[in-house]
Structure 1
Amino acid sequence: MTSRRVLLTGAAGFIGSHVSTALQDAGHEVVAVDALLPSAHGADADIPDGVRHIDVRDQAAMIRLLNGIDVVCHQAAVVGAGVDARDASAYASHNDFGTAVLLAAMYETKCTRMVLASSMVVYGVGRYRNRRGDDVEPAPRRRTDLDSGVFDHVDPDTGEPLEWALVDEDAPLRPRSLYAAGKVAQENYALAWSLATGGSVTALRYHNVYGDGMPRNTPYSGVAAMFRSSLD
């Protein structure tokens, strides 16, 4: 196997740190960067050994680092669903603008391969069918139903509960959160960049990633632990 030089963004994060280890174990050279955002790492986090404290929105820094890079593995992002609309600027700045800056820097340095961390949230609530087997777009859940413990998606025409179905990769994209909207934007920027430059992009739509070193203060860790415990 040919060894590659990989620029890894978000290298200090949960997923990024595992990717870094896997790449190095496979014999690749990793150039690791992370902005170490307080929202993800805490206010007083130390930059890990081997990781450079750099924000992907710094285009000059990205151009310097990208010289001689074969592949970019873009894991950096503001994560979570977004508490309210005031979070929109953070998602747009770090996720969407940051990705656009990185793609522009890749064009400048003739780096033509990217692996992009996307998410299953681009599909919205997923795929649902009525009792006849027809695909149905569920209505938004009502606050009163959630408060009373009713979580089923219902048919907007009949009010009957819908059954979930497997989501195909080519399912329509229907983002329903700020984070999801940003992930769709990242994919669209990357696709447009690949068409304009002939570059290659692989978008990985992660779904409830779980494992060693996962932060304990996120909703994902709670739900994953409950699912795992139910198997015992």
Structure 2
Amino acid sequence: MRALVTGGAGFIGSHLVEALVARGDQVRVLDNFSTGRWENLAGVAHRVEVLEGEVTDPTLVARAVDGVDLIFHLAAIASVQASVEDPVLVHRVNVEGTLCLLEAARRQGVKRFVFPSSAAVYGDHTALPLAEELPTRSLSPYAASKVAGEAYGRAYWASYGVPVVILRYFNVYGPRQDPTSPYSGVISIFADRMRRGEPPVVFGDGRQTRDFLYVRDVVRATLLAGEQEAAVGKTFNVAGGRETSVLQLVETFNRVLNTRLSPTFAPPRPGEVRRSRADVSRARAVLGWETTTPLIEGLTALVKEMGDDGG
């Protein structure tokens, strides 16, 4: 198969590219390298085609989509905080970019369009676990951009028959997530600080919860979304199905690192949800997928890889 991965030099995208190459696909990457890194593709650079540019550029997108069977559209500004700071830019990239890809996919006649959305679309729902049928509640421009992307995906499936699958990623962590970015995930930031003996900074009281999952589990779900015919036109939670508080995360890191660091506290950040835990029964039933990496195992692997890389 011939696959396009937008955002393929990024954190999740580069792991997906490696998996596609490993199974024998011909892979093309479209990335603007604003957060993606060339070194993320170092292991497969000789086996992938890389186009550098914007997903909002129709000419470049048409070139990227030409001849491909599968599109995995991971390119996005994936940050609540960044969206609060610059909602117009996030709309342009996340919404207009998605529409640009969908239109190119329609013209190309692709066999599958996988669109990773986000748990942020659920907002402050308190009826846990969060099921895909719940109405969306956008608490940030980022969440709104993902709701809009989902809506366009469903519209292109209903109107033109573009075979779209929507995946709602929850809190993904693992190697290549940049801990130096203020928009990075809490796990990579905590790992970086606590490995250096510095206390983690907790926003709010630390009792807010997230549903964490390891990046390689996410890649497996994403590949299955590109394969299973029964997945077309559907939306799936991609999550561990377990609720972990930020304070529990600190405790688990202390176990992994054999430290006794206590967090420092800062004011809560706007637009962040209080609790999060997914219902993953649909992904299990339709995709045949569930996570296989316990949190402590994933954190241990992450810390080891950061050490091996000299980070």
TM beyond 0.5: yes
CA distance in 2, matches of 1:195, 1:108: 15
Unaligned runs of 5+ in 1: 129-164
Residue in structure 1 matched with residue 253 of structure 2 by the alignment: 229
CA distance in 2, matches of 1:84, 1:25: 35
AA at the equivalent of 1:201: V
Residue in structure 1 matched with residue 24 of structure 2 by the alignment: 27
Distance 1:66 1:124, change over 3 A: same
Of the three residues 172, 179, 183, the one matched with 2:146 is 183
3-state SS, counterpart of residue 30 of structure 2: strand
Residue in structure 2 matched with residue 205 of structure 1 by the alignment: 168
> For 1:27-77, what per-residue CA distance to the aligned partner results, in whole angstroms no more than 9, with x for missing partners?
11111110112xx35xxx658544321211111122122222101000000
Of the three residues 121, 132, 143, the one matched with 1:169 is 132
Residue in structure 1 matched with residue 3 of structure 2 by the alignment: 6
CA distance in 2, matches of 1:227, 1:188: 39
**Alpha carbon RMSD of aligned pairs, Å?**
2.2
Distance 1:227 1:70, change over 3 A: farther
Are 2:67 and 1:104 aligned? Answer: no
AA at the equivalent of 2:2: R
CA distance in 2, matches of 1:76, 1:195: 23
> For 1:154-203, what per-residue CA distance to the aligned partner results, in whole angstroms no more than 9, with x for missing partners?
xxxxxxxxxxx211121111010111000000000111011111121111
1:116–1:201 Cα contact (<8 Å) kept: yes
Mean CA deviation greater in 213-222 or 93-102: 213-222
CA distance in 1, matches of 2:60, 2:107: 12
> For 1:123-142, what per-residue CA distance to the aligned partner results, in whole angstroms no more than 9, with x for missing partners?
002324xxxxxxxxxxxxxx
TM-score normalised by length of structure 2: 0.56
Unaligned runs of 5+ in 2: 191-211, 213-248, 257-311
Q: CA deviation at 1:112?
A: 4.2
Q: CA deviation at 1:230?
A: 6.4
CA distance in 1, matches of 2:255, 2:30: 37
User: Identity of aligned pairs, percent?
Assistant: 33
3-state SS, counterpart of residue 106 of structure 2: helix
3-state SS, counterpart of residue 92 of structure 1: helix
The structure richer in helix per residue is: 2
Distance 1:85 1:229, change over 3 A: closer
Residue in structure 2 matched with residue 65 of structure 1 by the alignment: 64
Report the count of equivalent residues.
Answer: 188
